[in-house]
């Protein structure tokens, strides 16, 4: 589709998460090369540990140490590792029941190929060189043919010096965003300093920016209508807080502006007039940024010098 | 208790990409079709509920913009679940059962093409122990498949047969994305091959629910919801027995699925191995038409595929092809959450 715009869109977020007492002990333990589990009411040892019994929902606090060796309970060979996964060479995803544990932990197994992996095989933890108190402190598992660890876990206080109490979990997802037909047409028109809306075939209202549907009638809009460039301030506010990375002196005015011919007000900054003289009904026109490669949107709106619009002409759009 | 039925169902033609369509563009024809089938207008609907996920297309609050397609002004009674539309249907069913509405519009959509579904779905996992490892959706399904193979419940040729049967059935489904003779392909994550995995695509679906005589007035043969229930299992994958699905069994029991045999089952099993698990716990014999639509292996618009199972099961009752049908929807890794509904035609109830 040549008439539909598309652009890369990256969504990135570093969530900071606090750990409860059990998760804190487990992740701090990994930093210290110690694997902890928690004992449930029926005596099962959960590794990784959780704070509440998955069966009874009872609170769990009885920490125990299990061995860094264990048995694969199921596996899957991953020939093409994806970004963020533990190894960048082909590896096996594994659920591993560590010696002394009653449940299995998900991680990666470093093995030369799928023929070297089977359910029931013995593995051990390979520790990451730099450990911070995260599940990735286990770099991966590796095949192990030594002695099994003790079947009975040993009690552990869960206390460490300088415990990890929270983790930062970064995430990044990559998209190719396509805004669809209506918004593509709107954005393309802006490049020519024109503002284009769409008229609803049922109620005849002109929506700007158009999203392809009339929110009142629930039908597709298609007829393109050029609106503006002049418009009327329908309502406004005075901004007194300076936004980060925004090179605009405060106070400034942010307004709803009903462009001539539009049945929906859009918003923009008002300049070229002292902030305390902006008023409802003020007639304004867009000022486009001259910077090449800058935003295609108007930089701001300024007074046209016309007499103010009569309230009745825009009261439906406030 | 009130009698509540699915009286209309519509879905889009599911496609790998729909770059020219916004989410509301994708949804609107489906809404018009389902409203048209009942001659209802948006302002005559008692309750509207939708299911979708912003992470799929990377668009914050996309469901509020999708509402433009409904015609939400003047104000309507509306709700949204960040889940498959099957759970939106459950909420709407509760709304009708409590007497707060007589009709409901339920819709769901998913636009997966802008992102990488395998990466996106990792964000629904436990954020402390699992998500930092980025295990993708195919990898987690493959762990379950290997557990089934180790348990002797299936093998790779049997999984390939599941894929072939679903996609052969989908040849009669004009909305399906992947139909007919689809090669098994190479291993995506062993033991799962590309043929064992669902297509990635964009799509939407909608149903209308109605109570009692309203349902009878809107539809010649309403698909009565005789029971519906949903259950969830422990978050930790290593706590669960991946070869079993106790949540599906419990939901089916509470929905009344085991009281009498069903003739049709629409199962939300995006991976072939999951159909093996579900058939087992639901006790479906060879005499049951399983996924006559082709199921999620033929079209898997995420967030809509579960609602489509309910819609497809209902549509077979509407057409007189089924008297008692089971519909299933799932969410989360390795069948973590499961919803089961039992639908019946009027004659079966009499």
pLDDT (0 to 100) of residue A291:
65
Nearest CA in chain B to A140: B133
Name the least confident of A241-255, B11-25, B263-277.
Answer: A241-255
User: Averaged over B156-181, what is the pLDDT?
Assistant: 97
Q: What is the mean pLDDT of chain B?
A: 96
The answer, yes or no, to whether residue B349 has pLDDT greater than 70, is no
Question: Are B299 and B317 spatial neighbours (Cβ–Cβ below 8 Å)?
Answer: no
Spell out which residues of chain A touch residue B133, defining contact as CB-CB under 8 Å. 84-86, 106-108, 135-136
Spell out which residues of chain A touch residue B28, defining contact as CB-CB under 8 Å. 212-213, 218-220
Rounded Cα gap, residues A162 and A27, in angstroms: 12
Q: Regarding predicted confidence, which is higher, A1 or A221?
A: A221
Could you read off the pLDDT of A16-29 as tens digits, one per residue?
A: 999 999 999 999 99
pLDDT (0 to 100) of residue A245:
78
The answer, yes or no, to whether residue B284 has pLDDT greater than 80, is yes
Q: Which of B313, B277, B241 is nearest to B162 (CA)?
A: B277
User: Averaged over A268-285, what is the pLDDT?
Assistant: 96
pLDDT (0 to 100) of residue A239:
95
Could you read off the pLDDT of B176-215 as tens digits, one per residue?
A: 999 999 999 999 999 999 999 999 999 999 999 999 999 9
pLDDT (0 to 100) of residue B99:
96
Return the H-helix or E-strand segment holding B27.
helix B23-38
The answer, yes or no, to whether residue B271 has pLDDT greater than 50, is yes
Name the band, by pLDDT with cuts 50, 70 and 90, for residue A81: very high
pLDDT (0 to 100) of residue B140:
98
Rounded Cα gap, residues B332 and B82, in angstroms: 12
Name the band, by pLDDT with cuts 50, 70 and 90, for residue A2: low
| Partner A, chain B 109-128, Cβ-Cβ below 8 Å | 114-116, 118-120, 122-123, 127-128
User: What is the percentage of chain B residues whose pLDDT exceeds 70?
Assistant: 99
First to last CA, chain B: 17
Could you read off the pLDDT of B88-130 as tens digits, one per residue?
A: 999 999 999 999 999 999 999 999 999 999 999 999 999 999 9
Over the Cα atoms of chain B, what is R_g? 19
Question: Are B42 and A218 spatial neighbours (Cβ–Cβ below 8 Å)?
Answer: yes
Spell out which residues of chain A touch residue B58, defining contact as CB-CB under 8 Å. 9, 11, 173, 175, 177
Question: A308 CA to chain B: closest CA distance, Å?
Answer: 30
Could you read off the pLDDT of A118-163 as tens digits, one per residue?
A: 999 999 999 999 999 999 999 999 999 999 989 899 999 999 999 9
User: Averaged over A274-286, what is the pLDDT?
Assistant: 97
- Is the ipTM higher than 0.90? The answer is yes
The secondary structure of residue A94, as a DSSP letter, is E
Question: B322 CA to chain A: closest CA distance, Å?
Answer: 34
pLDDT (0 to 100) of residue B65:
86
Give pTM, 2 decimals: 0.95
Rounded Cα gap, residues B318 and B312, in angstroms: 10
| Partner A, chain B 244-263, Cβ-Cβ below 8 Å | none
Measured from the Cβ of residue A20, the count of other Cβ atoms closer than 10 Å reads 13
Name the band, by pLDDT with cuts 50, 70 and 90, for residue A263: very high
Name the band, by pLDDT with cuts 50, 70 and 90, for residue B332: very high
pLDDT (0 to 100) of residue A1:
44
Spell out which residues of chain A touch residue B19, defining contact as CB-CB under 8 Å. 1, 4, 6, 178
pLDDT (0 to 100) of residue B350:
45
Best mutation site among B105, B136, B146 for testing chain A: the one with the most A CBs within 10 Å? B146
For B160-232, strand residue ranges (E) read: 187-189, 192-193, 202-211, 223-232
A311 contact B CB<8A: no
């Amino acid at each position: 589709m040549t008439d539909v715009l598309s652009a890369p869109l990256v969504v990135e977020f570093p969530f900071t998460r606090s750990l409860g007492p059990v998760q804190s002990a487990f992740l701090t333990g990994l930093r210290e090369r110690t694997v902890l589990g928690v004992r449930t009411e029926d005596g099962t040892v959960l590794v990784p540990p959780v704070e509440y019994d998955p069966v009874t929902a009872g609170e769990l606090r009885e920490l125990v140490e299990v061995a860094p060796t264990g048995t694969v309970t199921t596996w899957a060979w991953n020939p093409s590792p994806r970004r963020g996964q533990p190894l960048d060479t082909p590896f096996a995803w594994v659920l591993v029941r560590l010696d002394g544990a009653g449940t299995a932990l998900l991680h990666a197994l470093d093995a030369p190929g799928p023929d070297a992996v089977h359910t029931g095989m013995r593995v051990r933890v390979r520790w990451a060189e730099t450990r911070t108190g995260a599940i990735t402190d286990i770099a991966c598992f590796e095949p192990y043919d030594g002695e099994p660890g003790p079947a009975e876990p040993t009690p552990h206080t869960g206390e460490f010096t300088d415990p990890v109490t929270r983790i930062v979990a970064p995430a990044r997802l990559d998209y190719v965003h396509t805004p669809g037909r209506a918004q593509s047409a709107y954005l393309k028109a802006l490049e020519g300093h024109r503002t284009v809306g769409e008229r609803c075939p049922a109620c005849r209202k002109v929506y700007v920016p158009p999203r392809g549907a009339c929110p009142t009638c629930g039908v597709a809009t298609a007829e393109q209508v050029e609106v503006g460039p002049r418009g009327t301030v329908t309502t406004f506010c005075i901004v007194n807080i300076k936004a980060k990375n925004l090179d605009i002196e405060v106070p400034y005015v942010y307004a709803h502006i009903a462009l001539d011919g539009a049945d929906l007000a859009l918003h923009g900054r008002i300049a070229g007039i002292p902030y305390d003289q902006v008023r409802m009904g003020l007639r304004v026109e867009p000022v486009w940024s001259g910077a090449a490669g800058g935003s295609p949107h108007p930089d701001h709106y300024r007074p046209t010098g016309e007499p103010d619009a009569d309230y009745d002409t825009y009261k439906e759009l406030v | 208790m009130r009698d509540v039925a699915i009286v209309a169902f519509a879905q889009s033609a599911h496609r790998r990409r729909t770059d020219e369509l916004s989410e509301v563009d994708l949804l609107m024809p489906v809404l018009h079709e389902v409203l048209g089938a009942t001659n209802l207008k948006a302002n005559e609907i008692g309750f509207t509920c939708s299911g979708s996920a912003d992470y799929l297309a990377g668009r914050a609050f996309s469901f509020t913009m999708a509402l433009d397609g409904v015609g939400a002004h003047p104000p309507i009674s509306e709700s949204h679940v960040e889940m498959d539309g099957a759970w939106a249907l459950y909420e709407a069913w509760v709304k009708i059962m409590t007497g707060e509405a007589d009709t409901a519009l339920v819709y769901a959509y998913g636009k997966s093409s802008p992102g990488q579904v395998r990466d996106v779905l990792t964000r629904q996992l436990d954020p402390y122990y699992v998500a930092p490892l980025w295990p993708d959706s195919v990898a987690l399904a493959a762990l379950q498949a290997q557990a089934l193979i180790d348990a002797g419940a299936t093998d790779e040729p049997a999984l390939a047969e599941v894929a072939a049967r679903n996609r052969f059935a989908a040849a009669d489904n004009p909305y399906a994305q992947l139909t007919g003779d689809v090669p098994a392909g190479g291993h995506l994550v062993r033991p799962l091959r590309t043929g064992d995995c669902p297509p990635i695509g964009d799509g939407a679906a909608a149903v209308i629910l109605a109570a009692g005589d309203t349902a009878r007035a809107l539809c010649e043969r309403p698909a009565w919801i005789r029971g519906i229930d949903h259950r969830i299992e422990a978050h930790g994958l290593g706590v669960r027995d991946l070869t079993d699905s106790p949540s599906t069994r419990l939901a089916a029991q509470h929905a009344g699925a085991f009281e009498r045999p069903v003739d049709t089952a629409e199962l939300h099993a995006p991976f072939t191995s999951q159909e093996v698990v579900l058939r087992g716990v639901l006790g479906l014999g060879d005499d049951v038409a399983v996924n006559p639509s082709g199921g999620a292996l033929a079209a898997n618009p995420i967030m809509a595929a579960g609602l489509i199972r309910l819609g497809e099961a209902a549509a077979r009752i509407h057409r007189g092809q089924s008297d008692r049908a089971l519909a299933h929807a799932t969410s989360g890794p390795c069948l973590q959450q499961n919803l089961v509904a039992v639908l019946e035609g009027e004659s079966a109830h009499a």
